[in-house]
């Protein structure tokens, strides 16, 4: 069972000045439940509630200027706003907020008066971009409905018509700013969509919004580009994925989902390959006592080796990745193909190699997510060997595949996993955390879902 799902809310139009040559598309969709959950979490934040209080308090001062005979109103209690959301296809969201405010001030003849107002606020918010290209909700229309007004004066409940009428006139100015306050808190989280995070000590990963969001009844569909860069800021890409695209299934029973093209993984491996982080040298000291990398083990398969190596010599094996790693989804599994050379030397590596093998190293990748980071754990599936050159003449290279597989499995695969320990940082969006667990796959992508 896939336990882990995550949500990313991303949208916007990529300005021409932000265009990059090396891009990998990342697609996401978020449901109304997912966005609503983020809003509810925000309303638990003391700073946001304080801003709501300040907004309502400022609006209350307007009541003193509408002929109601009120002055010095202060908030005594504010019920935590209850928010519900509905997606508006092609627009954004319909935001509905219920709140209750209890205030105290001076009324007619200087008497202390307590005023309790209950109201529903309904606002339509359009999803746009700000000047930096980040997504932003902007309120286009706001309406309020007075649910109940209670005026407590000298322990008596009164409903003066003049005060009721005054409240109805000022209510939009009193409560509508609450929706701006709530959405501004959401917008502060959305601004982190355009971001850049380190890829260990070898480079950086930049997320840039690429397309205008598509809002349907079920979800908001959003796209961005992921640009892998080296430490000098140069884009590093998978040449086979210049037109990468991601298609996501419909959101069903989930807060949202994120699709990452496997080309992103290929670009990260390419970033590691350029400075040789995927290359390794293996000798007997790195292997167990029963190491297969011995003269006798090689001679048993290739008798001609014994004429060039003494029994006391410890061969040295070097693995070098020759071309861009390729990442594919095969039968639901993420597979990594490393086009490499395996070169076998006498114990002194300064000597000429005994033979060179062209090698397709095939690894399976187990993706997991923790701490907003995608991690890959690689395991060797198989190696395919062909002879490239040899001092000992022609021989049947596939005979060495079991031996080379054991050596790579023991030393080389842990070496690559160590290089990948940095993980791939995922977009920091809406403060939603990624749970630990497995990640699903589609034809060309990894898919992470957020449970509703």
What is the rounded distance in angstroms from the CA atom of residue 452 to the CA atom of residue 440? 17
38 and 169 inside one domain:
yes
- The answer on 156 and 236 residing in a single domain is no
Distance of CA 201 to the CA centre of its chain: 20
Residues 180 and 271 in one domain: no
Residue 174 belongs to domain with CATH number: 3.15.10.10
Domain boundary among 141, 175, 190: 190
Q: Are residues 243 and 177 in the same domain?
A: no
**Are 297 and 183 in the same domain?**
no
Question: Is residue 294 a part of any domain in this protein?
Answer: yes
Predicted TM-score (pTM) of this structure: 0.81
1 found inside a domain: no
- Rounded to 5 degrees, what are φ and ψ at 338? -110, 110
Residues in the chain: 452
Q: Which residues of 304-325 are buried (b: 16+ CB within 10 A; e: fewer)?
A: bbeebbeeeebbbbbbbbeebb
The tens-digit pLDDT sequence of the chain (452 residues) is 333 333 333 333 233 333 344 466 888 888 888 888 888 888 887 777 777 777 776 666 655 554 455 556 677 777 778 888 899 999 999 999 888 888 777 655 566 777 777 889 899 999 988 888 888 899 999 988 877 777 765 444 444 566 666 666 666 677 788 888 889 888 988 888 888 999 999 999 999 888 777 888 888 888 888 999 999 999 988 777 766 678 788 877 777 788 899 989 999 999 999 889 999 998 766 565 556 777 788 888 888 887 777 766 778 899 999 998 999 999 999 999 999 999 998 876 677 889 999 999 999 999 999 888 999 999 999 999 999 999 888 999 999 999 999 999 989 999 999 999 999 998 877 776 767 666 889 888 998 887 65
Is residue 204, in this structure, part of any structural domain at all? no
Query: What ranges in 118-160 are assigned the alpha helix state H?
Result: none
Assess whether 132 and 236 both reside in one domain. no
Looking at the fold, whether 85 and 135 belong to one and the same domain comes out as yes
* Residue 374 within a domain: yes
The domain tally of the chain equals 2
Rg (CA), the chain: 32
Q: Are 194 and 208 in contact (CB under 8 A)?
A: yes
CATH number for position 306: 3.15.20.10
The confidence score (pLDDT) of residue 398 equals 95
Q: Which domain holds residue 58?
A: 32-190
Q: Are 259 and 446 in contact (CB under 8 A)?
A: yes
């Amino acid at each position: 069972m896939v336990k882990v799902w995550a949500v990313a809310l991303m949208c916007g139009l990529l300005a021409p000045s932000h265009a990059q040559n090396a891009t990998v598309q990342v697609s996401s969709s978020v449901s109304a439940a997912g966005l609503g959950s983020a809003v509810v979490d925000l309303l638990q934040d003391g700073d946001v509630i304080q801003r709501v209080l300040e907004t309502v308090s400022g609006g209350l001062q307007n009541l003193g200027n509408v002929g109601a005979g009120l002055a010095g109103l202060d908030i005594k209690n504010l019920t935590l706003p209850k928010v519900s959301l509905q997606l508006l296809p092609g627009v954004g969201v319909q935001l509905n907020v219920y709140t209750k405010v209890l205030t105290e001030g001076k009324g007619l003849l200087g008497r202390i008066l307590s005023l309790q107002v209950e109201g529903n606020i309904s606002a339509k918010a359009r999803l746009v971009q700000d000047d930096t290209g980040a997504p932003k909700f902007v309120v286009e229309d706001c309406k309020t409905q007075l649910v109940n007004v209670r005026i407590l004066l000298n322990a008596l409940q009164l409903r003066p018509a003049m005060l009721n009428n005054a409240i109805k006139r000022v209510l939009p100015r009193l409560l509508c700013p609450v929706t701006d306050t709530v959405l501004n808190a959401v917008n502060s989280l959305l601004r982190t969509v355009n971001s850049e995070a380190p890829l260990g000590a070898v480079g950086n990963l930049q997320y840039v919004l690429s397309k205008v969001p598509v809002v349907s009844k079920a979800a908001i569909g959003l796209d961005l580009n992921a640009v892998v860069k080296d430490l000098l800021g140069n884009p590093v890409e998978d040449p086979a994925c210049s037109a990468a695209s991601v298609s996501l299934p419909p959101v069903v029973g989930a807060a949202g989902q994120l699709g990452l093209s496997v080309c992103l993984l290929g670009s990260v491996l390419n970033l590691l390959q350029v400075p040789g982080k995927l290359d390794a040298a293996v000798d007997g000291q790195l292997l167990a006592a029963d190491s297969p990398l011995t003269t006798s083990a090689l001679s048993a398969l290739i008798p001609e080796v014994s004429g060039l190596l003494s029994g006391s010599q410890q061969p040295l094996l070097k693995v070098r990745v020759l071309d861009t790693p390729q990442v594919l989804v095969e039968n639901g599994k993420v597979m990594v193909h490393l086009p490499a050379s395996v070169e076998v030397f006498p114990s002194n590596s300064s000597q000429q190699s005994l033979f060179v093998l062209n090698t397709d190293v095939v690894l399976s990748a187990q993706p997991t997510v923790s701490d907003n980071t995608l991690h890959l754990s690689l395991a060797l599936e198989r190696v395919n060997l062909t002879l490239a050159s040899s001092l000992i003449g022609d021989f049947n290279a596939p005979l060495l595949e079991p031996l080379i597989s054991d050596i790579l499995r023991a030393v080389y695969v842990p070496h690559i996993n160590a290089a990948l320990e940095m993980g791939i940082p995922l977009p920091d969006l809406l403060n939603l955390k990624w749970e630990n667990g497995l990640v699903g796959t589609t034809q060309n992508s990894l898919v992470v879902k957020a449970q509703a």
